[in-house]
C-alpha cells in the first residue's frame, strides 16, 4: 500500500474515533460512509505500485534546485503535471513528494520542483518555469497534455505563469495566497488566462497562523470572479471546514483529490 494511501486511511479512522469519543453521531455516520466509499476513491486515483518518487536536480543556476519526479509504469508518452508547493522561506507547504506519487499512481508523470527557499518571491516564477521546462524535456511526456497544480504561494505562481502563456492546458489552484502587487501578482491578469481552471478551498480558510491572517476563502472567490469577468469561468469548490484553519486541508492527499483527478483526466 502506498504512503499516501496509508495516510488517507489513517485519517479516516482517526476521525471516526474522535467523533465517537465526542458523541457526534452524525459525524460518525458521515465518516463511516466515507470509509465505505474508499474503494471508489482509490479506484479513481489509481494503484500506487511502482510510483516511488525520484529526487532530481532540475536547475543549477543561480543555485542548485531539486525536486521529486514520478512516472507511471510503461513507455508513454504520458500526460504530465507540475505541482507547485506553498510555504515561506525554508518552510515547504503542501505535500510535494506525496502529490508527485499520487499523480503517477493516477497515470500522470508528476513533478514537484522545490523552489529557492527565500521569503521574497523574486525569482520564484523563474523556478516554476525552469521546472516546467525540465519536465517538457522528457520523451515520455506528452507535451500537448501538461497541467499545473499550485497550493498557497504555489497557487499564486500557477496563476501567474498561466497568465504568462506557459504551455500548459489546465490549472488546479488550491487555497492560493494573494501576494502583494510588488510580487508581480495581480488578479487583473485573469484576462490572460485562457485555460480551464479548478479552484479549491476550505470554507474556514479565512485567516490563520498558517496564512498569517490572510483570508484565503475571500481571495479565491475574488480570483473566481476575476476569471469569470474575463470570460473564463472556473470551477470553484468550497469544502467543509478542516483542521488547521482550513489551510492544512492540502497538506496531504485527501478526499479533494477525487476532484483534482477528475478535472485532470477531463482536460488532459
What grid cell was written down for 210? 498558517
The confidence score (pLDDT) of residue 230 equals: 98
127 and 59 Cβ atoms separated by less than 8 Å: yes
Give 53-57 contacts, CB < 8 A, sequence gap 24+: 53/97, 53/100, 53/101, 53/110, 53/112, 56/134
How do 197-202 and 235-239 pair as beta strands?
Answer: parallel
Tell if the pTM clears 0.95, that is, is over it: no
The mean per-residue pLDDT over the stretch 20-36 comes to: 47
The confidence score (pLDDT) of residue 22 equals: 53
157/229 Cα distance (integer angstroms): 21
Residue 130 has pLDDT above 50, yes or no: yes
Q: What is the per-residue pLDDT across 138-157, written as a single tens digit (0 to 9) for each?
A: 999 999 999 999 999 999 99
The confidence score (pLDDT) of residue 165 equals: 96
The confidence score (pLDDT) of residue 37 equals: 47
Dihedral (CA of 247, 252, 255, 257) sign: positive
CATH class of segment(s) 51-267: alpha beta
List the domain boundaries for the chain. Answer: 1-36, 51-267
11/7 Cα distance (integer angstroms): 6
- The share of the chain scoring above pLDDT 70, in percent, equals 81
The mean per-residue pLDDT over the stretch 196-217 comes to: 90
The confidence score (pLDDT) of residue 222 equals: 98
Collapse the DSSP code of 136 into the 3-class scheme (helix H, G, I; strand E, B; otherwise coil) and give the result.
helix
Amino acid at each position: 500500500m502506498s504512503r499516501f494511501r496509508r495516510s488517507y486511511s489513517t485519517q479516516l479512522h482517526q476521525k471516526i474515533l474522535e467523533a465517537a469519543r465526542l458523541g457526534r453521531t452524525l459525524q460518525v455516520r458521515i465518516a463511516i460512509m466515507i470509509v465505505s466509499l474508499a474503494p471508489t476513491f482509490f479506484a479513481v486515483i489509481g494503484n500506487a505500485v511502482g510510483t516511488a518518487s525520484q529526487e532530481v536536480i532540475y536547475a543549477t543556476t543561480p543555485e542548485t534546485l531539486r525536486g521529486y519526479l514520478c512516472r507511471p509504469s510503461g513507455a508513454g508518452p504520458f500526460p504530465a503535471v507540475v505541482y507547485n508547493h506553498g510555504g515561506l522561506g525554508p518552510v515547504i507547504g503542501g505535500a510535494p513528494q506525496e502529490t508527485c506519487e499520487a499523480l503517477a499512481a493516477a497515470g500522470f508523470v508528476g513533478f514537484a520542483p522545490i523552489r529557492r527557499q527565500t521569503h521574497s518571491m523574486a525569482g520564484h516564477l523563474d523556478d516554476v518555469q525552469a521546472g516546467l521546462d525540465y519536465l517538457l524535456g522528457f520523451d515520455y511526456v506528452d507535451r500537448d497534455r501538461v497541467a499545473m497544480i499550485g497550493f498557497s504561494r504555489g497557487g499564486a505562481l500557477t496563476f501567474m505563469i498561466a497568465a504568462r502563456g506557459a504551455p500548459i492546458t489546465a490549472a488546479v489552484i488550491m487555497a492560493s495566497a494573494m501576494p502583494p502587487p510588488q510580487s508581480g501578482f495581480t488578479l487583473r491578469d485573469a484576462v490572460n488566462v485562457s485555460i480551464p481552471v479548478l479552484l479549491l478551498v476550505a470554507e474556514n480558510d479565512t485567516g490563520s497562523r498558517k496564512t498569517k491572517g490572510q483570508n484565503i476563502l475571500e481571495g479565491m472567490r475574488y480570483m473566481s470572479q476575476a476569471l469569470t469577468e474575463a470570460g473564463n469561468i472556473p470551477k470553484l469548490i468550497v469544502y467543509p471546514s478542516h483542521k488547521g484553519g482550513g489551510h492544512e486541508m492540502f497538506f496531504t492527499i485527501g478526499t479533494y483529490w477525487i476532484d483534482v483527478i477528475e478535472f485532470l483526466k477531463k482536460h488532459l
